[in-house]
Structure 1
Amino acid sequence: MLAPEALRLAAIRLTPVSGTPRLDAELLLAHALEIDRSDLLLKLRDLTAPATFDPLVARRARGEPIAHITGTRDFWTLSLRVTPDVLIPRPDSETLIEAAIDHFRDRPPPTHILDLGTGSGALLLAALDIWCDATGLGVDASQAALAVAQDNARRTGLAARADFRVGDWGAGIGDRFDLILANPPYVSTAAQLPRDVLDHEPHQALFAGADGLDDYRRIAPQLPGLLAADGFAAIEIGFDQGESAAALFREAGFDVTVRRDIAGQDRCLQIHHA
């Protein structure tokens, strides 16, 4: 089947399970053809859908995330490997990187970076890609997640500047850091999530108690011993946690402001010493 018709039919098939059925179809066809989506769109009229395309569409129609089907997800300027052991990096989380760039724009760049709950390594590796003289530490409770992060560090050429270790947030870390990034679990256990998230992404990276604040309660008292005197922390929050999460860090002695994401929703706590 010619690629334009294959894409049309695939988008119809994916409409019940996806808010972006045409985009999903394009990403899957590009993956099946082993080309970039941009190349797919440029050459679309000359392409034929391979036999491998339909099984990929079937997997997506059953609710499997695109990133798990293709095995990769773009974040910031990087293409990262993704498995069911890690949370799929999302554009919302790039708000933390934007916050850090703005903070250090007129200051000396960070040289020592900490990523709490590193998962795929997305935040740490994006920061190391920006600040080329920095080194970083990624901490996660999951050994399987750390294996993905270490592989991504190698794939992106950043392994020499990135260290990873198993840990319980900031517990037992003796160093102080210029920049601390974190995307902890913040979903209430009572929340209703889309099936492709609930059925395919690690629950330990999603849920944080009845109010979604359990992990902030653990991180906030650790932060004073981790953040350098002139340091900056950017911590992701849910859209409805701007006040509740910020209050925990203010109680720990910090100045906190809330930054919104591109959709205008509260997304990032911007934290520094009072």
Structure 2
Amino acid sequence: MNSPLAGRPIAQVLAQSPLDALDTRVLLCHALGLTRVQLITRADHLLTDTEAARLEALLARRAAGEPVAYLTGEREFYGLPFHVTPAVLIPRPDTELLVELACERLPRGGSVLDMGTGSGAIAVAIAHARPDAQVSALDASAAALEVARGNAARNGVHVDFLQSDWYAALSRSPRRFDMIVSNPPYIVAGDRHLSQGDLRFEPVDALTDHADGLSALRAIVAGAPAFLGPGGWLLMEHGYDQAQSVRALLHGWDQVQSWRDLAGIERASGGVLPDR
């Protein structure tokens, strides 16, 4: 037996793992190709040499800090399965607030643009929840768009994807949307969180603007009037302490407000483009 885990029952591996119990269960399911229910019903299963080696490698990488989502290539968002790679941010529950706000405010048959789509989580979730909507999404990263296209196909929805550095590519064929949504990079350059936890492994350009955390938000707000129809919503996710600053960026817009996530933090802000 090459691995010390070989020959051990699943229940013992779970009980003795130095990692978080949930992480261990997820990695066990992935290594053994089992569902969560099967993991429970096969608790006495003895790991083979191959299974043990595969699991040991995953546990070691997780112990070194690699995110579970990158190890398994999977993350659930808004009740849907998403493939994730180190080319995209890992979708987080906080961002589901943006999807809920968008679905509530998007008119029947309306069009929505997701800026900086990454894995496509926001765009795909909206398209799935609102099949009547026309959903478009852009990202500057070709690698991210490849992941996003795969996630749209996986979840059986249609999204028009475009490679663009914010509004740049749209300027060549102007059109207007009923809504623009975005979860842009908003972490301040040098923030200690960038060197902690999962963020160490995620694409840094999708996390920080390498400035004051507001430059991407400024660009989105400044460019929105050229691509948003009058009376259309602009909705943006931002940092826990940026709500007031983002509302200030929307000076002159209508219905400017912020919304709190499940933790009570002002996580998203937006407004309506004046119809005048």
TM-score with structure 1 length normalisation?
A: 0.88
Match of 1:45 in 2: 43
CA contact 2:250–2:270 (8 Å) conserved in 1: no
Distance, in Å, in 2 between the alignment partners of 1:62 and 1:102 is 41
Render the CA deviation track for 1:78-114: whole Å, top value 9, x for unaligned.
111111111111111101012123335xxx4253121
Larger radius of gyration: 2
CA contact 2:247–2:270 (8 Å) conserved in 1: no
- Alignment of structure 1 residues 229-248 onto 2, 5 Å: 229-248=230-249
Gaps of 5+ in 2: 1-7
Gaps of 5+ in 1: 15-20
Match of 2:93 in 1: 91
Q: Say which of 168, 172, 177 aligns to 1:171.
A: 168
Q: Are 1:149 and 2:148 matched, yes or no?
A: yes
* Structure 1 residue matching 2:236: 3-state secondary structure: strand
C-alpha distance 245-57 of structure 1, shift in aligned 2 (>3 A): same
AA at the equivalent of 1:102: E
- Alignment of structure 1 residues 251-270 onto 2, 5 Å: 253-270=253-270
CA contact 1:87–1:201 (8 Å) conserved in 2: yes
Q: Please state how far the C-alpha of 1:27 moved relative to its aligned partner.
A: 0.8
Q: Please state how far the C-alpha of 1:55 moved relative to its aligned partner.
A: 1.5
C-alpha distance 165-172 of structure 1, shift in aligned 2 (>3 A): closer
Match of 2:229 in 1: 228
CA RMSD of aligned residues (A): 1.8
Distance, in Å, in 1 between the alignment partners of 2:33 and 2:235 is 36
| Percent identity over paired residues | 41
AA at the equivalent of 1:141: A
Distance, in Å, in 1 between the alignment partners of 2:191 and 2:139 is 24
Render the CA deviation track for 1:180-209: whole Å, top value 9, x for unaligned.
221100001121125343431111101123
AA at the equivalent of 1:235: M
C-alpha distance 48-146 of structure 1, shift in aligned 2 (>3 A): same
* Structure 2 residue matching 1:222: 3-state secondary structure: helix
AA at the equivalent of 1:33: L
Superposition misfits of 4+ residues, deviation over 6 angstroms: none
* Structure 1 residue matching 2:222: 3-state secondary structure: coil
- Alignment of structure 1 residues 9-158 onto 2, 5 Å: 9-10=16-17, 13-14=18-19, 21-41=20-40, 43=41, 45-49=43-47, 50-51=51-52, 52-104=54-106, 108-158=107-157
Q: Please state how far the C-alpha of 1:266 moved relative to its aligned partner.
A: 1.2
Q: Single out whichever of 171-180 and 116-125 deviates more from structure 2.
A: 171-180
TM-score with structure 2 length normalisation?
A: 0.87
C-alpha distance 214-34 of structure 1, shift in aligned 2 (>3 A): same
AA at the equivalent of 1:152: N
AA at the equivalent of 1:78: L
AA at the equivalent of 1:32: A
- Alignment of structure 1 residues 164-243 onto 2, 5 Å: 164-173=161-170, 174-193=174-193, 194-243=195-244
Give the count of matched residue pairs: 259
Match of 2:4 in 1: none
* Structure 2 residue matching 1:209: 3-state secondary structure: coil
CA contact 1:103–1:232 (8 Å) conserved in 2: yes
Distance, in Å, in 1 between the alignment partners of 2:214 and 2:94 is 19
Distance, in Å, in 2 between the alignment partners of 1:126 and 1:163 is 14
C-alpha distance 254-171 of structure 1, shift in aligned 2 (>3 A): farther
AA at the equivalent of 1:209: H
